[in-house]
Amino acid sequence: MVDALQGQGLERFGTMNLHDEMKAHLTEKLLPFWESLRDNTRGGFYGWMDSGLTLDRDAVKGCILNNRILWFFSNAYLTLGDEKLKAYADHAYDFLVKHCYDPEQGGVYWSLNADGAVVDSTKHTYNQAFAVYALSSYYRAFGKKEALELAGKIVDVIEGKCFDEYGYKEAQDRYFVPVENDKLSENGVMADRTMNTLLHVLEGYTEYYLVTKEERIGAKLRWMLDVLADKIYHPVLHRQEVFFDNDMHSLIDLHSYGHDIETSWLADRTLKVLDDPAYTAKLRPILLDLADQIYRVAYKKHSLANECERGKVDERRIWWVQAEAVLGFYNAWERSGEARYRDAALDVWDFIKTYLVDWRPGGEWFYNVDEDGRPEMGQPIVEPWKCPYHNGRLCMEMMRRTDPGLKA
């Protein structure tokens, strides 16, 4: 059945322009799917669906998943103006406040059971950043002051408990005692610092700064941009390093294609919000270099491979990497004027429509396909990391970029 449905996306969209394709995919595929996962009995959203589209109503609910869902519905409201979306954002916000947030020690937990009781009380900086990101967007959409106040409290936790003289820490227990960073470490290393966490603190603070213009946050954005440019970016290899020891020495020869193309446009958004000509001049050439290198080494067969570790390429086409590729290449075209990037963005979008979107009734996107577009059916459709953040953001961001009347 899956093979028979692949390619349906090209037929579905027909002769639509890009803006209308993205809007149709958002409103007809992504929003209905995630709306259907609302848990009206125990709060939040269900946390697991297998590749056969079987929903596990008793699965663990990741706080990262809930925060990303809150971000998704808040931004969908900002993009579409559809009042019904507020109820879904409110539902995610209520779950964050009542269950994900720790009112005694501060910060948000890692995961909860289906009833909202704490399963993993780890306070990871990455997760704090996504709470700030989501709460700031929720405030921007609906003007709820309590949400912005909570975002500010979590910022205080990040700066007071998750930062030291070397930069942002990674994993800590409920009481902010450091623990092993197994949640954000991969490829056989245990990292003290990661590019990934810094990127998403940058992302969360950018959204918070957009609505507050707090000087201390502007200073931290500049600090993070300096770290990106001076310690994470490798000018000889034209890539970001990924995993670091405590002193920011790289631990492994790894090129994360998805994170580099994501950084190329996410950090560019920070430059736009920060509006500091000196930092724009310093960072924009680096961000374009990241996009250029991804175009040269990772963009093959109409899509992006996953990563390259010690010279060996992981050829899987991961769902979120393809979403970020469209945005990153499109942004590079807007910044450089080079048509090859625009063509690559449209090419990867065609690959997504043809192979990565799960066109089964009740489906969303496959977790990954191989380089020829065959889905790996053992991977879940929903799990703590598989969310509407990357693909939903793709649709909304591309709608904004192809319709200047929409909010940035």
Model pLDDT for residues 154-188, shown as the tens digit of each residue:
999 999 999 999 999 999 999 999 999 999 999 99
Residue 1 has pLDDT above 90, yes or no: no
Question: Alpha helices of 228-359 — where are they, by DSSP H?
Answer: 257-274, 277-297, 319-336, 339-351
Write the CB contacts of 32 (distance below 8 Å, at least 6 apart in sequence).
none
Q: What percent of the chain has pLDDT over 90?
A: 95
Question: 55, 370 in Cβ contact below 8 A?
Answer: no
Domain positions in the chain are 2-401
DSSP letter, residue 233: E
Percentage, residues of the chain above pLDDT 70:
95
CB 195 within 8 A of CB 260: no
Over 60: is that where the pLDDT of 196 sits? yes
Residues 232-262 have pLDDT tens digits of 999 999 999 999 999 999 999 999 999 999 9
- What is the per-residue pLDDT across 39-62, written as a single tens digit (0 to 9) for each? 999 999 999 999 999 999 999 999
Mean pLDDT in residue range 53-82? 98
Answer for the pair 315, 262: CB distance below 8 angstroms, yes or no.
no
The whole-number average pLDDT for the span 134-159 is: 98
d(CA 138, CA 86): 9
C-beta atoms surrounding 346 within 10 Å: 16
Match domain 2-401 to its CATH number in 3.30.565.10, 3.30.70.1230, 1.50.10.10, 1.10.10.10.
1.50.10.10
Please report the pLDDT score of residue 7 as a whole number. 64
Q: Are strands 368-369 and 307-309 parallel, antiparallel or unpaired?
A: unpaired
Span 62-82, mean pLDDT?
98
Phi-psi region of 371 (alpha: psi -120 to 50; beta: other; left: phi over 0): alpha
* Cβ atoms of 400 and 408 closer than 8 Å: yes
Cβ–Cβ < 8 Å for 82, 131: no
When pLDDT is cut at 50, 70 and 90, the band that residue 16 belongs to is confident
CB 263 within 8 A of CB 225: no
Per DSSP, what are the bridge partners of residue 123? 172
Rounded to an integer, the average pLDDT of 385-395 is 97
- Read off the pTM: 0.96
* Count of CB atoms situated within 10 Å of the CB of 311: 7
Beta bridge partners of residue 233, listed in sequence order: 240
Each residue's pLDDT tens digit, 342-372: 999 999 999 999 999 999 999 999 999 999 9
